[in-house]
C-alpha cells in the first residue's frame, strides 16, 4: 500500500466495483469462512486438548511403549510438520500447472474434499479402542494436507480479485470472514460441550461437524468464483506431458528468481517469521494442555476470543497500512508476536495456597487421634480416567470422611510427590508445626522443574502472576487477547505484500512458491519443536521458535516493496506483449 492511497478512496473503489466483481470477492472471502473452522476447532481449540488427553492416558497405561520416548505435545508437533510435507513438495509443481491450465478451482475443490472428508472421519475414532488417538492423528494428517493444499490455490486466486491498491483490503476481508466464521462454529461447539460436560460423543461430533461446515460453505465459493481465464491456456495434454512441462518450467522459475531480488529476500524473511507464527498457532493448544494444564473449555473460550478480536484487528491493520505502508504495519504486528511469545514462555500455574484449592485436605481430629480426609469436588471422576489412577484409588481409597493415622499421612505425602495431586495438612503431628503443610506432586502443573528456561516462568510467577493473582486461565486469556490483535495483521499483510510483488500473469506459479515456503515453514518449525522438546524441554522449544520470528522481522529491513512491485508490473508487460508501461 503506498503512502498516497487513503482509506476514503479504498472504500469508494470497493463500493464502485461492478456487482459481478463484488460477488466474486464475496465468494472468495466465504472460503475463508468455510475452512477457518478447521484452523480453530481442529488445529487449536478442541483436537489438541482431546488428543493430548488420549495420548497421555495411553502413555500412563503403556510406560514401556515406543511412544513413551516422546511428549504428547512433541508427537502432535511431529504430525503437524509431516502432514504438510507432501504439500510443500508438490505446491510449486502444481502451481506451474495451474498457471498453464485453467484448473485452479478444480484443484481447490479436490483438496477441500480430501480435507473435509478426513475431518468427518474423526468421529469414528472411538472404534479403535486404546489406539483412538493414533486414528485421530492419522485423520488429522490427511485433513491438514487437504487444508494446506487448498490454501495454496485459494491464495493464488487473490491477484484475480482486484487491483493492487485493493489487495490489502480484500486480503484483510478474507481473514475477517474466516475469523468470524470459525468463531461462530467454535461458539456452538463451546455451548454443546459445556452443556454435555465434555462428553466424548459430543467432542467427536464437534470434530466431524467442522468437515461438514467446511464443505457446505465452500460450495458457495465454487458457485460464485469463476476459474480465472488464462491467455493461451494449455488443453488436451496427457498427464506425463503435463508433468514433464511442469518440471521444465519449475527449473526455469528457479533460474528466473534472480530477476525478482526483492521477492526472494521477502520469501526468505517470510520463511523465518511465518515458520514461527504457524508453529505457535499449530502447537499452542497442545502446549497449553500438555505443559500448562489448560482445560479444553478454557482453551475454546480463548480461541473464540481470538477469532472475534482478530476480525476487527485485521481491518485495523489494513487501515494502518493505508496510513503508513504495508511493510511498516507488518513489522508492527511481528514485533507484537515476539513480545507475546516471550511472555508465553513464562506462563505457569500458580501453586495452590488456600485449603479449598487442594485436591486432598487432612484435618487433625484430636479426640480420635486421626486425620479426617476431604476431597475436592469432581476428583472421584478423574480417578476413573485410566489404569494408573484406578490403581491409586484402590491403594489409598481416599474419600470424604475417611480417617487415617499420622504415620499413614506421612506415607501419603511421600506417595503424592510422584503424582499430579496436591495435599493440604492443616494441623496435627504431620503438619509443619507452626502452620499447615502443603505437598505438591511433581507432575502438578504448578511445578516448573529445573530446565534451561525454567527460571523465567519462576521469575514471572513471583513478580507478575502471583501479585496479580493471575492463574493459568487468566494468563491464557492474556495470550489470546494478544494473539488476536496481531494475528490478523501479520497474516493478511504478509499475503498482501507477496501479492503486490507477484506478476499477475504468473500468480499461481509464484503463489505455489509462496505456498512452498509456507509449507516448508510448517514442516521445519514443528519438527524443530519436536526435536528440542524431546532433547531439552517444551519451554526451550517455544523459545527456539521465537528466535525464528526475530530473524524474519529483522530481514524485513532489506525488503523494498515498491521496487518489487515495479519488477512485477514489468514482467506482466512482457508477458502481455509489452502493451502496458512497466
Q: Give the tens place of pLDDT for each residue, 48-71.
A: 889 888 888 888 788 888 888 887
Domain assignment of residue 567, yes or no: no
Helix axes 72-83, 85-100, angle to 10 degrees: 20
Domain boundary among 393, 423, 440: 440
- Alpha-carbon span 209 to 25, nearest angstrom: 26
Per-residue pLDDT, 527: 79
On whether both 308 and 366 belong to a single domain, the answer is: no
> What is the SS3 assignment for 196?
coil
Report pLDDT digits (tens) over 114-160. 999 999 999 999 999 889 999 999 999 999 889 988 887 888 788 78
CATH code at position 266: 1.20.1250.20
Domain assignment of residue 395, yes or no: yes
| Residue 221 Ramachandran class (φ > 0 left, ψ -120 to 50 alpha, else beta) | alpha
- Alpha-carbon span 53 to 510, nearest angstrom: 41
By C-alpha distance, which of 532, 519, 564, 573 is closest to 147? 519
Range of the domain at 326: 18-347+472-556
* Overall pTM > 0.85: no
Torsion of CA 471, 474, 475, 480, to 10 degrees: 160
Distances (CA, A) of 117 to 82, 83, 140: 19, 15, 11
- Alpha-carbon span 1 to 232, nearest angstrom: 31
- Alpha-carbon span 463 to 482, nearest angstrom: 20
- Alpha-carbon span 189 to 45, nearest angstrom: 10
Domain assignment of residue 565, yes or no: no
Query: Do the bridges between strand 370-375 and strand 422-425 make them parallel or antiparallel, or are there none, so unpaired?
Result: unpaired
Domain assignment of residue 205, yes or no: yes
On whether both 253 and 326 belong to a single domain, the answer is: yes
Burial class from Cβ neighbours inside 10 Å (0-12, 13-18, 19+) for residue 136 reads buried
On whether both 390 and 523 belong to a single domain, the answer is: no
What is the Cβ-side half-sphere exposure of residue 554, based on CA atoms within 13 angstroms? 6
> Is the distance from CB of 343 to CB of 464 less than 8 angstroms?
no
On whether both 105 and 227 belong to a single domain, the answer is: yes
> Is the distance from CB of 302 to CB of 285 less than 8 angstroms?
no
Report pLDDT digits (tens) over 393-421. 888 988 899 999 999 999 999 999 988 89
Domain assignment of residue 410, yes or no: yes
Please state the domain count of the chain.
2
Sign of CA dihedral 520, 525, 530, 535: positive
On whether both 364 and 228 belong to a single domain, the answer is: no
On whether both 361 and 260 belong to a single domain, the answer is: no
On whether both 332 and 367 belong to a single domain, the answer is: no
Q: H or E element: which one contains 321?
A: helix 296-323
- Alpha-carbon span 547 to 383, nearest angstrom: 41
Torsion of CA 109, 115, 116, 119, to 10 degrees: 180
Per the DSSP assignment, residues forming a β-bridge with 422 are 440
Distances (CA, A) of 472 to 144, 220, 310, 352: 29, 41, 22, 12
CA angle 326, 329, 331 (to 5 degrees): 110
Per-residue pLDDT, 579: 43
Domain assignment of residue 10, yes or no: no
On whether both 138 and 278 belong to a single domain, the answer is: yes
On whether both 174 and 33 belong to a single domain, the answer is: yes
- Alpha-carbon span 440 to 416, nearest angstrom: 7
Alpha helices in 324-401 (DSSP H): 326-344, 379-382, 387-396
Domain assignment of residue 460, yes or no: no
Per-residue pLDDT, 85: 73
Domain assignment of residue 577, yes or no: no
Burial readout 277-296 (b: 16 or more C-beta within 10 A, e: otherwise): bbbbbbbbbbbbbbbbbbeb
By C-alpha distance, which of 204, 272, 290 is closest to 490? 272
- Alpha-carbon span 94 to 103, nearest angstrom: 10
On whether both 359 and 340 belong to a single domain, the answer is: no
DSSP 471: -
Distances (CA, A) of 65 to 58, 62, 138, 420, 478: 9, 5, 19, 21, 37
Per the DSSP assignment, residues forming a β-bridge with 424 are 361, 438
Kindly report the length of the chain. 582
Report pLDDT digits (tens) over 244-290. 776 776 677 677 777 788 888 988 898 889 888 888 877 787 788 77
| Sheet with strand 437-440: strands edge to edge | 403-404, 370-375, 360-365, 422-425, 437-440
> What is the SS3 assignment for 375?
strand
- Alpha-carbon span 91 to 508, nearest angstrom: 9
On whether both 432 and 334 belong to a single domain, the answer is: no
> Is the distance from CB of 430 to CB of 371 less than 8 angstroms?
yes
> Is the distance from CB of 40 to CB of 185 less than 8 angstroms?
yes
Which residues of the chain register pLDDT less than 50? 1-5, 7, 579-582
> What is the SS3 assignment for 380?
helix
Per-residue pLDDT, 34: 95
- Alpha-carbon span 141 to 147, nearest angstrom: 10
On whether both 333 and 251 belong to a single domain, the answer is: yes
Amino acid at each position: 500500500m503506498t503512502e498516497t492511497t487513503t482509506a476514503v478512496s479504498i472504500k469508494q473503489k470497493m463500493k464502485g466495483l461492478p456487482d459481478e466483481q463484488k460477488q466474486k470477492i464475496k465468494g472468495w472471502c466465504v472460503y475463508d469462512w468455510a475452512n477457518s473452522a478447521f484452523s480453530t476447532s481442529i488445529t487449536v481449540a478442541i483436537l489438541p486438548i482431546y488428543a493430548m488427553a488420549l495420548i497421555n492416558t495411553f502413555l500412563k497405561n503403556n510406560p514401556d511403549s515406543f511412544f513413551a520416548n516422546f511428549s504428547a505435545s512433541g508427537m502432535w508437533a511431529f504430525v503437524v510438520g509431516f502432514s504438510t510435507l507432501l504439500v510443500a513438495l508438490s505446491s510449486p509443481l502444481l502451481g506451474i500447472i495451474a498457471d498453464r491450465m485453467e484448473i485452479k478451482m478444480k484443484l481447490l475443490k479436490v483438496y477441500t474434499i480430501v480435507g473435509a472428508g478426513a475431518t468427518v472421519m474423526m468421529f469414528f475414532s472411538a472404534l479403535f479402542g486404546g489406539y483412538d488417538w493414533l486414528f485421530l492423528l492419522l485423520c488429522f494428517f490427511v485433513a491438514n494436507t487437504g487444508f494446506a493444499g487448498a490454501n495454496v490455490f485459494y491464495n493464488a486466486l487473490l491477484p484475480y480479485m482486484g487491483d493492487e491498491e485493493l489487495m490489502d483490503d480484500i486480503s484483510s476481508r478474507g481473514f475477517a470472514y474466516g475469523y468470524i466464521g470459525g468463531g461462530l462454529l467454535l461458539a456452538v461447539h463451546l455451548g454443546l460441550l459445556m452443556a454435555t460436560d465434555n462428553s466424548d460423543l459430543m467432542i467427536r461430533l464437534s470434530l466431524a461437524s467442522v468437515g461438514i461446515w467446511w464443505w457446505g460453505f465452500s460450495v458457495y465459493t465454487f458457485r460464485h468464483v469463476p476459474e480465472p481465464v488464462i491467455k493461451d491456456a494449455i488443453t488436451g495434454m496427457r498427464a506425463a506431458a503435463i508433468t514433464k512441462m511442469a518440471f521444465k518450467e519449475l527449473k526455469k522459475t528457479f533460474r528466473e528468481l534472480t530477476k525478482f531480488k526483492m521477492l526472494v529476500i521477502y520469501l526468505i524473511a517470510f520463511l523465518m517469521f511465518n515458520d514461527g507464527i504457524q508453529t505457535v498457532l499449530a502447537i499452542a493448544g497442545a502446549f497449553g494442555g500438555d505443559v500448562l494444564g489448560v482445560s479444553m473449555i478454557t482453551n475454546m473460550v480463548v480461541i473464540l476470543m481470538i477469532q472475534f478480536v482478530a476480525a476487527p484487528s485485521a481491518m485495523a491493520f489494513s487501515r494502518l497500512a493505508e496510513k503508513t505502508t504495508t511493510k511498516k504495519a507488518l513489522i508492527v504486528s511481528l514485533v507484537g508476536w515476539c513480545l507475546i511469545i516471550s511472555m508465553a514462555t513464562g506462563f505457569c500455574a500458580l501453586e495452590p495456597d488456600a485449603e479449598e484449592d487442594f485436591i486432598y485436605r487432612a484435618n487433625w481430629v484430636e479426640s480420635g487421634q486421626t486425620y479426617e480426609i476431604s476431597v475436592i469436588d469432581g476428583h472421584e471422576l478423574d480417578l476413573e480416567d485410566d489404569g494408573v489412577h484406578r490403581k491409586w484409588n484402590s491403594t489409598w481409597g481416599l474419600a470424604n470422611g475417611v480417617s487415617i493415622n499420622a504415620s499413614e499421612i506421612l506415607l501419603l505425602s511421600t506417595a503424592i510427590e510422584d503424582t499430579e495431586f496436591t495435599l493440604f495438612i492443616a494441623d496435627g503431628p504431620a503438619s509443619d508445626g507452626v502452620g499447615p503443610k502443603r505437598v505438591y506432586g511433581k507432575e502438578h502443573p504448578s511445578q516448573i522443574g529445573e530446565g534451561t528456561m525454567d527460571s523465567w516462568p519462576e521469575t514471572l510467577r513471583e513478580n507478575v502472576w502471583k501479585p496479580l493473582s493471575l492463574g493459568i486461565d487468566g494468563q491464557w486469556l492474556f495470550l489470546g487477547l494478544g494473539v488476536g490483535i496481531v494475528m490478523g495483521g501479520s497474516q493478511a499483510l504478509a499475503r498482501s505484500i507477496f501479492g503486490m510483488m507477484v506478476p499477475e500473469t504468473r500468480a499461481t506459479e509464484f503463489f505455489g512458491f509462496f505456498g512452498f515456503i509456507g509449507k516448508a515453514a510448517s514442516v521445519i518449525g514443528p519438527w524443530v519443536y519436536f526435536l528440542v522438546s524431546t532433547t531439552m524441554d517444551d519451554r526451550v522449544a517455544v523459545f527456539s521458535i521465537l528466535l525464528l520470528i526475530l530473524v524474519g522481522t529483522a530481514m524485513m529491513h532489506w525488503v523494498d516493496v515498491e521496487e518489487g512491485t515495479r519488477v512485477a508490473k514489468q514482467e506482466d508487460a512482457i508477458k502481455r506483449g509489452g502493451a502496458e508501461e512497466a
